[in-house]
A and B are shown apart, each in its own frame.
Chain A
Amino acid sequence: MLFAVPFLLYGIIITVVDPYNYFSLPSPVDDGLKTEISFKLNYAMWKMLEYRQAPSRNILLGDSRMMSIDRDKIREINGDEYYNFSYGGGSLKEALATFRYAEGLGKLENVYIGLDLNSYNASDNKDRVSEVLAAIRNPLLYISNNNTLLAAMRLVRAKLADAKEIIGKPQGDKATFWKRQLEVTARVYYANYRDPVAYRRELAEVSDYCRAEDINLVFIIFPSHMDLQDKIAQYGLEIANAEFKDDLAGFGLVYDFAWDNEVTRDADLFKDPYHFNRDVEDSIIRTVWGGESHFVRVFGEPTVSGIRDRRVSHNRYPSSQEGR
């Protein structure tokens, strides 16, 4: 029994601190501090637990680029409330698992998924969601989760030392980071590209489900700088890229911002080859939710029969026949 004492104490501390508000009990650590620390340590854990308290009819799924889409700006445009359910570095596997989780908590109306060839890639099968789902079903797994432990430690430290916690690695100057994203990150994604047979099948199932349930499923291919887009050709993935967009067109409406235009050529509009700045974000929001047309190609078949977008140029990806 003496042996078990530290583990019991640990369990009590975690329950009291509750880094991710699992137990929704009064905690000596305020939500502001948790948002600063717990949220950044594990987006999936935070968002999935937060979402179950207040499910939404409209969700945004994807990676850090979708995460940068400000839902308040969407609400200003069309009055709709959206929950931003995307995760930094999120994979399509995580997005689809999150979709199923959200759909299980209440009927959805609008689902926007941000993805590109990086994520439509069988090699990108990162999954932080399943451990969160397991923890949601079993409080013991939440308490013993190492993310919970880490978050609790940092919260206690921040509270006691009354000091700001820095989460995440510093990126260095823009030029260095830009180069690293192209030479390392892009290479890791593209050099090991594999045809996403399973993702294709799963997205088809999701699309069929959305059509049957009258859910508006929309894909957004966010803009990336041409330095990054040129890597697709460098790694011989032009056909894969065309097939990717063609596949998406069959699954739902697609807003494609990732093509050669004056925006994607302007490095000043990007923090790094993957991530656009606020000005571009505004344009994307006004285009997708506001009906404007800013450097976008729109194609594909909506999953909801009542939706017609005048900007749709084709039902399939316009350049899908090129390069074949």
Chain B
Amino acid sequence: MFFNSLHYAIFLPLVVAFYFLLPPRRRWVFLLAASYYFYMCWKMEYIVLILVSTLVDYVAGLRMGQAKDQAHKRKYLVLSLVSNLGILFAFKYFNFFNESARAAFAHFDITYNIPFFDVLLPVGISFYTFQTLSYTIEVYRGNQEPEKHLGIFALYVAFFPQLVAGPIERSTNLLPQFYKEQKFTYDNTTNGLKLIIWGLFKKVVIADRIGVMVATIFNNPQQYSGVEYILGASLFAYQVYCDFSGYSDIAIGTAQIFGIKLMTNFRRPFHAISLSELWQRWHISLSTWFRDYLYIPLGGSRKGTWRTYFNVFFIFFVSGLWHGAAWTYVIWGSVHGVFLALELATLKARKRFFHRINFTEKNFLYRAIGLLYTMTIFNFALLIFRALSVKDAFYMTRHLFDGVPQMVGRLLTGDFLVVREMLRGLGLSQKELVVVLIAIAVLEGAQMLQIRGSLRAQLALQRQPVRWAVYYALVASIVFFGAFNMSQQFIYFQF
């Protein structure tokens, strides 16, 4: 069941209505049933995996609570880690490592007979696995009391708005909210709906439309040149941002209707002036998860300079692997790891130098250069991320600047028809392209306003006709310009 489907448009109001009609003590049952139904709409059998994760971590949490010492606690933590990561490995990574091993053995002419498993990747497995692991780790650390109520714990694991693509919630934030008696309020409902509408706008007006052009380029890279690769990577940045943040908005907005507050997952990442800043603004729930459960346990920045660089690189290497069982994702993560380590390594020197010449963040040019640098590296890494294979990624990288000087030359002579020629073959009509450009302009405008503070709060200060005009414009753009016939699966579902 996709958030941008008719099925969800019928499912959500029914669930909300029944939820608030039920007595508060029974609500968790209904919400849990609705969450399982939501998940089973993809593939019924995979509910078993969520049930196994839920039971293992519920028991592990209780046992850790009863354990006399850290050693006993550790046993149950290991049980949780092994079973959750084991399931993740089996369904997501086994075939990948198997194929890589086969290729390596074949290179040395050695026979390799381990078979592949023909399994479909369970939707959201990376997300809910990390969510349950955060619970058991926090119980182990003593920051979280073991949850005694199996039903509430099951709801924490399977809460449908954030089950399949996050935000990856911390138990300390989410669990207590299921115990509060939530009331149906006008504010929660309208604020939640506004966020859902905004998320849908990003997804169906921008992301799905751009996805057509991106797919055209990346599915046949040999038919295009560097100009299209650069355009494709830049468009893909917008596609993945609008797709993923759109999904997060819908998830957060949906939860808000129930009175549940989920964490912010994106904070204007394209306004970052360094990669380290970008990762504080992009997929925040995942980057903080890696920080708290991998980076810090590895020593963080406390074990010396080179160990710090290694830790940073390793986190992003693993992050690449988390995103998908393919070497393109690993390379993508590694590129980020390398540049982040470089940023760290040069941070003090850069600060000293720029301070000496009075060239700081307050300076517009400083921020513009920072923005350009960040988006260049981010988009380049995305080129690799989006490529269908490592071979394609290397091909596009090698030919990244093919045709660029010629294009620039023609533009400088005023030959703008060359742009129309290029865009023509990318799968969207002129009208569609205009819709995309206007929608992106609206998005960027909204993000500029967000610098001043919450968009909702700023809108609330406006008169009603202005507010309603904005809402109508958004809904109308979804209704009339939603690319429902070009619908792409939410990108992060495949992770």
Contact = CB atoms under 8 A, between A and B. Distances in A.
Interface of A: 3, 6-7, 121-128, 130-131, 133-135, 138, 140-141, 144-146, 149, 184, 187-188, 191-192, 194-195, 197-198
B461 interface: no
B223 A195 contact: yes
A134 B223 contact: no
Contact of B425 (A3, A124, A149): A124
Interface residues of B, number: 24
Interface of B is mostly: helix
A126 B6 contact: no
B254 to A, nearest CB: 18
A124 B486 CA distance: 17
B424 A141 contact: no
A187 B220 CA distance: 22
Contact of A184 (B417, B429, B468, B484): B417
Interface stretch (B25-33, B230-238, B472-480): B472-480
Contacts of A145: 480
Contacts of B494: none
A49 B417 CA distance: 36
Contacts of A134: 484-485
Nearest to A191: B421
Contacts of B472: 3, 6
A191 to B, nearest CB: 5
Nearest to A150: B480
B220 A3 contact: no
A127 B471 CA distance: 30
B484 A192 contact: no
A145 B484 CA distance: 10
Contacts of A141: 484-485
A122 B426 CA distance: 9
B485 A131 contact: yes
Looking at B424, B468, B471, B475, the one whose CB has the most chain A CB atoms below 10 A away is B424
B348 interface: no
A240 to B, nearest CB: 13
Contacts of A7: 475, 479
B479 A192 contact: no
B144 interface: no
A3 B471 contact: yes
A149 B480 contact: yes
Contacts of B424: 123-124, 188, 192
B422 interface: yes
Contacts of B479: 7, 144
A125 B427 contact: yes
Contacts of A187: 417, 421
A125 B425 contact: yes
B195 to A, nearest CB: 16
A184 B485 CA distance: 30
A149 B481 CA distance: 11
A141 B484 CA distance: 8
The 3 closest A-B CB pairs, nearest first, are A123-B425, A134-B485, A131-B485
Contacts of A135: 485
Nearest to A122: B223
B161 to A, nearest CB: 22
B216 interface: yes
A122 B485 contact: no
B468 A3 contact: yes
Nearest to B481: A146
Contact of B480 (A128, A130, A138, A146): A146
B425 A144 contact: no
A88 to B, nearest CB: 13
5 contacts: A3-B468, A3-B471, A187-B421, A188-B417, A188-B421
B452 interface: no
Given A121-B425, A123-B424, 8 more contacts: A123-B425, A133-B485, A134-B484, A144-B480, A146-B480, A184-B417, A187-B421, A197-B220
B192 interface: no
Contacts of B216: 125
A234 to B, nearest CB: 15
A122 to B, nearest CB: 6
Contacts of A131: 485
B420 interface: yes
A124 B420 CA distance: 12
Contacts of B199: none
A197 B221 CA distance: 13
A197 B216 CA distance: 13
B482 interface: yes
Nearest to A2: B468
Nearest to A131: B485
B159 to A, nearest CB: 28
Contacts of A191: 418, 421
Contacts of B475: 7
Given A6-B472, A130-B485, A141-B485, A192 B421 contact: yes
B485 A188 contact: no
A194 B424 CA distance: 12
A144 B482 CA distance: 9
Nearest to B483: A131
Interface in B414-448: 417-418, 420-422, 424-425, 427, 429
A133 B422 CA distance: 27
A58 to B, nearest CB: 28
